[in-house]
Structure 1
Amino acid sequence: MESVDSVSPALQRYGDEVLEDQLWQRPGLAPRERSIVTVAAMIARNQTVELPYYMNRALDNGVTPGELSEMITHLAFYSGWPDAMAAVEVAEEVFSARHISTDRLAEERPELLPLDQDFESARRTRIEGTYGTTGQGVQQFTTDVLFQEVWLRPGLAPRDRSLTTVSALVATGLTGQITSHLNIAMDNGLTEEQADEVLTQLAFYAGWPRVFSAMPIFKEVLDARSL
């Protein structure tokens, strides 16, 4: 942003010397993965001012238009429809400027990935044991739409879908859901080093307080998995 130097020269310096020259160059996450983390955090927090730049950067870093489209769909369920719709407006302009046609986007009704029956059974048992008959509508949509449809859409690989979800949860301070989704992410192939780098990336894009609030939960999950 050209105006940064005229408002806060120090911010410009940190952006150049720390954000670009250090953070984005760290080897723990590939640039494509850093883009997924960053865009997910910005969509979840409805930060649309810089979103066009970071969506373009994501596309340049190898995130496909279809994957970006699928991230927006996924985050409608994890950060809410209004945030997703705000992201749609930004993506529409980005796609138009890059001449990205709709045939390159995620399919409306694709053939879904196979359902892991053991995981789904354990998930439903855990939810029913925790919440009982409370929120029956929420539980029904969670099963029928979120986990038996959205999570099985092939437009975003399970690991990238988990990366999107965990990033959104940390960025919005929703720590109560991190344990289950970080475990799912690691079951989907996220390594301990990569999990640490997700926190590092989000410290700059969601703020230190949110990351420090999430760090004890990450530690608990990683410690438990190393036993």
Structure 2
Amino acid sequence: MKFIAATLLALGMSTPALAQGQASAPTLADLESVSPALSRYTQQGLLGSVWKRSGLTPRERSIVTLSIMIGRGQTSELPFHLDLALENGVKPAEISEIVTHLAFYSGWANATTAVPFVKQAFAGRKIGTDQLPSATPKQLPLNETAEAARVKFVDENFGTISPGLVKDTTDFLFRDLWLRPDLAPRDRSLVTISSLLANGQSAQLGAHMNIGTNNGLTREEIGEIISHSGFYAGWPHAFGAMSVAKSVFEARK
């Protein structure tokens, strides 16, 4: 049985589009031949438990998983998870925006490495460029008060260290990327937190947990992002993120 079919079965799903997707992940037989224990943890722990928990929707879990895999340049299971994300309700325009967003938060090379896989997933479902976001859409409204406070803080602390980065952060990220309408601010926070967590970027993680909370993520949902990420980014990264989250939650009391 293919890994993709077994995953769908474990998730209670079965669709021809997914079952016939181009998955480069190993089969369950491959896992059994190398590590029967890994096969058991995959079926009983990851697929049989984590993906079925109510703390995040399947759509949100797909966003978290894609963000980790793209953000870390891990492509072996990317074809499967792109198909699963589309099946779970992540729109093509949203996947396009996730790739773009991660170029800034995990680096251009990781984002462009994902492009051939996303292109193949879109082609398999006959998704054309008419379903993708404009390069220059009408932006969401800017929270002028919050942005002014952010600019003041960053400029005072880092303006003399790297004026170019400070300017680019304002121009490209917070006055452009975060205002693109085809990925909601709450989803951008899901993507950013997942990517930062997966790459051990704790210096920025606390700030983005605060931004995520302001964008509508609950304390419980942030906790479930961390839990889900343990399987896809590793336990050390997840435990590192818990320490950051604990500080954020205590400060927000």
Q: Does 1:188 align with 2:215?
A: yes
TM-score of the pair, normalised by structure 2: 0.88
- Whole-Å Cα distance in 2 between the matches of residues 93 and 73 of structure 1? 17
Q: Secondary structure at the match of 1:222?
A: helix
CA distance in 1 between partners of 2:153 and 2:238 (Å): 27
8 Å CA contact 1:107, 1:155 repeated in 2:
no
Q: For 2:133 and 2:36, how far apart are their aligned partners in 1?
A: 41
Contact map agreement 2:193 2:205 (CA 8 A) in 1: yes
Hey, which bits of structure 1, 4+ residues long, moved more than 4 A? none
Per the alignment, residue 125 of structure 2 pairs with 98
| TM-score, normalised relative to structure 1 | 0.98
Match of 1:9 among 36, 39, 42: 36
Which 5+ residue runs of structure 2 have no aligned equivalent? 1-25
Structure 1 stretch 6-15 or stretch 190-199: which is displaced more? 6-15
- Residue in structure 1 matching 2:139, options 89, 112, 117: 112
| In 2, Cα distance between equivalents of 1:150 and 1:132 | 21
RMSD: 0.8
Residue 69 (structure 2) aligned to one of 42, 52, 69: 42
Q: Which residue identity does 2:126 align to in structure 1?
A: H
Paired residue for 1:124? 151
The question of 1:156 aligning with 2:183 is answered yes
Q: Secondary structure at the match of 1:95?
A: helix
Aligned counterparts of 1:67 and 1:24: Cα–Cα separation in 2? 20
C-alpha separation in 2, matches of 1:149 and 1:26 = 34
Q: Measure the CA separation in 1 of the matches of 2:35 and 2:117.
A: 26
Aligned residue among 228, 233, 246 for 1:206: 233
SS in 1 for 2:76: coil
- Do residues 139 (structure 1) and 139 (structure 2) align? no
Q: Which amino acid aligns with 2:128?
A: S
Retained in 2: the 8 A contact 1:28–1:193? Answer: yes
Aligned residue in 1 for 2:79: 52
Alpha-carbon separation, structure 2, partners of 1:218 and 1:106: 33
Matches of 1:224 and 1:134 in 2, distance apart? 28
1:5, distance to aligned residue in structure 2 (A): 2.0
Is the contact between residue 205 and residue 244 of structure 2 (CA under 8 Å) also seen in structure 1?
yes
Structure with more relative contact order (C-alpha pairs < 8 Å, separation 6 or more) = 1
